[in-house]
Amino acid sequence: MHDNVLHLKPIGCEEITIPCKDGVVLGGHLWRGADNGRCGQVIINPATGVLARYYHRYAQFLAGRGFDVLTYDYRGIGASRPADLKACDYLWRDWGEKDFDAAVRLMHEERRQRPLLV
């Protein structure tokens, strides 16, 4: 049963796309926090090779306690995997340099006045 919970679309979240500066588009989810995200924002960076959905229950927990929460898959993984991965020249460091940068920019656009935690 635990595994099935991780595959369900989380309640109270929206599927989003996150554009990177190099044109790659990442897939992710954004949870709106209770009380209009009064506590701030959280970006959950997944572990190497781990799908973002693994963190959805934690994201729901944080959103229920007043945080806006972003989960996303790095390029080449999960919701950010292109149809033809072999044709891509992604580098491992792109996850930190390009993908994380895009996540930070997205959250700053959402609410600049709130603290951002990662």
CATH number of the domain within which 65 lies:
3.40.50.1820
Q: Give 7-62 pLDDT, tens digit per residue.
A: 444 457 899 999 999 999 999 999 998 888 889 999 999 998 899 999 999 999 99
The answer to whether residue 1 is domain-embedded is no
**Residue 40 domain boundaries:** 13-110
Closest CA relative to residue 117, chosen from 54, 58, 50, 51: 58
| 116 assigned to some structural domain | no
Give the number of domains in the chain.
1
Please check whether residue 118 lies inside any domain of the structure: no
58 domain residue, yes or no: yes
**Confidence category of residue 86, pLDDT binned at 50, 70, 90:** confident
Question: Are the CB atoms for 114 and 33 separated by under 8 Å?
Answer: no
Confidence of residue 73 (pLDDT cuts 50, 70, 90): very high
CA distance 70 to 27: 11
2, exposed or middle or buried, with CB in 10 Å at 0-12, 13-18, 19+? Answer: exposed
- The whole-number pLDDT of residue 59 equals 96
> Is 36 a member of any domain?
yes
Instruction: Output the pLDDT for position 11.
Output: 55
Tokens 């229950």 sit at which residue? 57
Structure tokens at 73: 């898959």
